[in-house]
Chains A and B, each alone.
Chain A
Amino acid sequence: MLKLFEHETLDVGNLADQDTAIDVQALNLWFGQKQVLHDISMRIPKNRITSLIGQSGCGKSTLISAFNRLNDLYSGCRSQGSIIIDGRDINHAKENVSRLRTQVGMVFQRPNPFPMSIYDNVSYGLRLQGIRVRRQLDDAVEQSLRDAALWEEVKDRLFEPAHILSGGQQQRLVIARALALKPDILLLDEPTSALDPLTTLFIEELMAELKKRCTIVIVTHNMQQAARVSDYTAFLHQGQLIEYTDSDTLFTMPDKKQTEDYITGRYG
């Protein structure tokens, strides 16, 4: 009976083009002389939650940052291979990075609200796009805060500074800020590692809700979380994609010895 409400499980090793949100093809990435990602190819399915797990320094944060070209900020970073999003190779030199980043939102490990009012935080991205109409901004702010399940808590103090919110509220505010741009893909880089368990649960529920409208890629250190919320899981080790399949399979009967060692806690 429960199965009816769940998605059919897709074979990510053999994903059709129309079901693919991000198509990574033979991606190699270096920071200076050090190669961080080795020949990664994977297809991330649309409207699903895909988690990336692995040891610290295995390259999962670098991989997720490659999806919105945030690695560009670090000098000495160069990459090879393509990442196809929405039919375009975003690694192409002529890619409009600003536009890409409005389509691919990102939430970081530590909540990083700007030192402005709650309203200004949420409308930041829209104002950057030149939207100045008050009505339009008001509607977008309300909708985004509702989507991030924060509206009820902050609707009376929209113009107070964002730093008065608690850590969990700040993280949801940051999610609302990303959602205001109506992204197709939402990248979450360890979004709950700085939060307490209850707030973590709150954010996980939010993710389950959000996947109806966008594709979610999440980096996490917490294996239970990956098993709980994600539909698909990829295990990275030393910059290589070891195993990538649906979460049930990966956590119950992993194919590779390394994966089994990691999820059973033998290292990492």
Chain B
Amino acid sequence: MTSVNRLLSSSQRQSFVISATAFLASLLLIALLSILLLILVRGGAYFWPTPVYELTFYDQLQNKQKTVYAQQRQRTDSSGEKVWQVDYSDENSPYGAKTLVEAPDVIAKKLAPESAQINLTDGRAVLAEPVYLTSAESADIPVSEYASVQEKVHALTAKIEDIRETWLSDIHQKLAELDVRNVDADAPARLNLNASFDRWQSEIILLEQRRDAFQMKVVFASGASWQLPLSDIDSFYFVSSQSLWEKWAMALSSIGTFLTESPKQANTSGGVFPALFGTVLMVFLMTIIVTPFGVLAAVYLSEYAPDNGFTAAIRVSVSNMAGVPSIVYGVFGLGFFVYTLGGSLDDLFFADHLPSPTMGTPGVFWAALTMAILTLPVVIVATEEGLRRVPDGLKAGSYALGATKAETVLYTILPIASPGIMTGVILAIARAAGEVAPLMLVGAVKFAPNLPIDGEFPYLHLDRQFMHLGVLIYDGAFHSQTDAKGSSMMFAACLLLLVVVFVLNILAVILRTRLRKRYLL
């Protein structure tokens, strides 16, 4: 440094310091931006239609040449060689196969405007050329009639569902009641029910046969044809011949699917609605729990606690709690909330269900409680900061009007400190929405069959396990690298998680700005 000092004049030294700090700051900015860019590009690519090619390549595994309709999701360089990640369909694997093709093995490749990406209701996709539609009556309905034919299929499906839900479930229930009352197997009531069950069942089979007669005939690149039941088809797009508008429309529709539907095909396809819902619900519950606790603790520490070493020790411990690794909170939540607290609740209130636990199992409420403990220090520290900013003159003014300490805290100090409290809540939300590790111990799962909220009493099922965007991303990251679509759904989920955190933060910032304006000093 002395040599630098000798070389540079004082103003040069100053500009050197400025450039050095600015350089590091811009490095940080670039790192942040590239993270955002990566997630934006890779996440956005999940929604953008991928063109279908007619690809002829040499399959090294089967030692033969293949011509297929294929989508190339990604190109990676492994040890310098170009490798194509290919999703394709052919007569051997009509519902899609994945493979890696090295660049020299590609023999021919051209856009296939005649081929469509046919999305199935179970989340898979078929790449093939739709030729015509068939029904029980006629064998060659043109593909352009798809909408009206599909309407008939939907009507039949609705009818079948209706029979299942109204009649069959009713018969099931009555049979179960008979079982409970130990009615004989050959009692007339039971026989009647069985007979009507069979009647409805055969009706359903008839309807299903009629429905499945509606099919789509498709042709693969090799010339082989295949029949797809229309009831399995969700939608199809001629991705290779789309105009820009059609591409945008398809992207928007897949964003809609992504946001509103459940995951399919082991979280590699479909939507992430349950995870989005679970994340927001958990953060919401956590906020409701942590805010009063944090604020009350901060009020005690700042207004009531004697100013001595013990209080100082508590303050230091609270600040240090913010640095405890989150998995430790997860273990604490599992050991204390789930096993101890939930287990005791089971012993007290749900003893007749034991040994299968009711509350003593990971669930959304325990997860929210654990996250509340995890974010408590953040709220306490920020609230104390806000309380410290309340001018002594205002407190004295309140006392001078005959207010007690509690009244002063409630009517004067807390309103003025409310922007500070909001700052704490914002930080807590940001922390809780992005946390994954502790959640996997206390209630978040890869797949939950039910949402924590539904139409059944008590509507909000706090004991249920839930899906979480972070856990979904963690799960997605373990999908095979060849599964390009799955990993790109993980990026889409990342993007969504960022958006969720951003939106929650913006909401809290708006609230804080309003409070600041109201309690301007």
Contacts and interface: CB of A to CB of B under 8 A. Distances in A.
Interface residues of A, number: 27
Nearest to A127: B411
A99 B402 contact: yes
A98 B402 contact: yes
A26 B403 CA distance: 29
A110 B396 CA distance: 11
B398 to A, nearest CB: 7
Interface string B393-405: 1111111111110
Interface string B405-419: 001000110011000
Most buried by A among B307, B393, B394, B399: B399
B521 A181 contact: no
B167 interface: no
B236 to A, nearest CB: 61
A105 B400 contact: yes
Contacts of B407: 128
Most buried by A among B393, B401, B521: B401
Contacts of B401: 101-102, 105, 124-125, 128, 177-178, 181
Contact of B518 (A98, A108, A115): A115
A4 interface: no
Interface string A73-114: 101000000000000000000000011111001101010101
Interface string B306-337: 11000000000000000000000000000000
B223 interface: no
B519 interface: yes
A115 B402 contact: no
A68 B518 CA distance: 31
B292 interface: no
A264 interface: no
B520 A161 contact: yes
A71 B403 CA distance: 15
Nearest to B407: A128
B400 A106 contact: yes
Nearest to A187: B400
Contact of B415 (A105, A115, A181): A115
A59 B306 CA distance: 26
A136 interface: no
A98 B403 contact: yes
A76 B151 CA distance: 84
A100 B412 CA distance: 20
A221 interface: no
Contacts of B397: 108, 112, 114, 174, 177
Q: Which 5 A-B pairs have the closest CB atoms?
A: A125-B401, A102-B402, A106-B400, A112-B393, A115-B519
Interface of A: 68, 70, 73, 75, 98-102, 105-106, 108, 110, 112, 114-116, 124-125, 128-129, 161, 163, 174, 177-178, 181
13 contacts: A73-B396, A99-B402, A101-B399, A108-B397, A108-B400, A114-B394, A114-B412, A124-B398, A124-B401, A128-B403, A161-B520, A178-B400, A181-B401
